[in-house]
């Protein structure tokens, strides 16, 4: 009974409701008085019905949430006590926004729309794999999952320095969900991207996806602090984010990890049209880039997450040699020291927040 229940809960957590339904039904059959199993069975059956309904009515891409949104005509009330945004992002606005967020305030909805729409266009026009060379005298910091932990991010900036023309940042996915300040982090990262588009970079993570946002909190947070349209605009912007960044032609940075096929090259990633596939699904290059993990054993193995797979040091070595790389830099997993070098130094895992596995 307990084994079926644990497996059903795991299936539900990794967004496999059909499999969860089977195990919860077995639990209820074994113990008809188990109220918790009954409740979870009903919830999973509801999700399965919703998915079937959406699949049945899907006739094409739905219109953008920006359709009919007249941002220019929106009025910022005289009582608004923050810095005004006059058409383009400024450092003054970012500094004021950071303080507002620290004090539990939000920014005006007009500014939220402006930020998301501006950055959606910026990242949409970037390639699937952004290629960056670091000029002399410039430092680049790669930062893993922040997961809605705003004050962790503030501490990082305090210790490491805020974004500037001489201090570039690359945020490697999973900046939303789980924590209570996901909208604040997303807006702050986007504002910095808007201000310094060639000095500030954002990769997509497995939590910048609709399914994860529904389950792990970002959708609900957007609706509570702003409205449903804000979430939909964020969702559209997430699907436009690049999937990887190549730094100095030697360091391949992506959220998850490597591939189930040794023949995948950087050119395959360059050619990947992420705009045709908004969500990663259960297979393919996009899914593997967002979900896979390293393992200590050679070869490949099943994923502990139930999605993707795990890859060994030999896989990493072959990929680096084939593509002329020094190392793969990824996030997606907790490391107690904040980061860890694995696979003979060719796979580096770094993650800011420890709030999720």
Q: List residues with catalytic annotation.
A: 207
100: tokens are 């507002």
Q: Are 89 and 118 in contact (CB under 8 A)?
A: yes
90: tokens are 């400024």
Q: Are 299 and 314 in contact (CB under 8 A)?
A: yes
Q: Are 23 and 8 in contact (CB under 8 A)?
A: yes
Phi, psi of 337, rounded to the nearest 5 degrees: -90, 5
Distance CA 250, CA 265 (A): 14
198: tokens are 């060639």
Give the full edge-to-edge strand order of the sheet including 129-132. 129-132, 244-247, 251-254, 327-330, 347-350, 339-342
Q: Are 188 and 157 in contact (CB under 8 A)?
A: no
Query: 157: which residues sit within 8 A by CB, 6+ positions away?
Result: 163
Q: Crossing angle for the helix pair 17-30 and 2-13, nearest 10 degrees?
A: 160
Q: Are 21 and 47 in contact (CB under 8 A)?
A: no
């Amino acid at each position: 009974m307990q084994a079926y229940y644990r497996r059903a809960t795991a299936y539900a957590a990794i967004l496999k409701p059909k499999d969860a339904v089977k195990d919860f039904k077995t639990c209820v059959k074994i113990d008809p008085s188990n109220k918790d199993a009954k409740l979870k069975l009903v919830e999973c059956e509801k999700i399965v019905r919703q998915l079937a309904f959406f699949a049945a009515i899907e006739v094409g891409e739905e219109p953008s949430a920006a359709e009919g949104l007249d941002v220019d005509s929106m009025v910022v009330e005289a009582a608004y006590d923050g810095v005004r945004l006059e058409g383009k992002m400024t450092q003054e606005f970012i500094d004021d926004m950071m303080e507002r967020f620290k004090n539990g305030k939000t920014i005006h909805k007009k500014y939220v729309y402006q930020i998301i729409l501006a950055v959606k266009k910026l990242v949409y026009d970037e390639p699937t794999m952004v290629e960056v060379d670091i000029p002399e005298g410039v430092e680049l910091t790669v930062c893993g999952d922040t997961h809605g932990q705003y004050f962790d991010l503030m501490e990082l900036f305090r210790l490491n320095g805020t974004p500037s023309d001489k201090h570039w940042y690359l945020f490697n996915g999973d900046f939303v969900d789980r924590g209570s300040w996901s909208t604040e982090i997303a807006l702050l990262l986007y504002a910095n991207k808007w201000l310094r588009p060639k000095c500030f970079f954002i990769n997509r993570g497995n939590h910048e996806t609709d399914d994860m946002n529904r389950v792990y909190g970002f959708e609900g947070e957007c609706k509570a602090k702003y409205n449903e349209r804000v979430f939909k605009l964020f969702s559209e912007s997430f699907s436009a984010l690049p999937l990887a960044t190549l730094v100095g032609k030697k360091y391949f940075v992506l959220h998850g990890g490597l591939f189930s096929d040794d023949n995948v090259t950087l050119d395959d990633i360059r050619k990947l049209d992420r705009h045709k596939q908004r969500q990663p699904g259960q297979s393919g290059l996009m899914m593997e880039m967002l979900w896979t993990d390293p393992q200590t054993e050679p070869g490949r193995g099943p994923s502990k997450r139930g999605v993707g797979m795990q890859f060994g040091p030999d896989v990493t070595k072959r990929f680096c040699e084939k593509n002329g790389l020094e190392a793969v830099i990824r996030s997606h997993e907790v490391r107690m020291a904040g980061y860890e070098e694995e696979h003979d130094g060719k796979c580096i895992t770094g993650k800011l927040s420890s709030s999720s596995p």
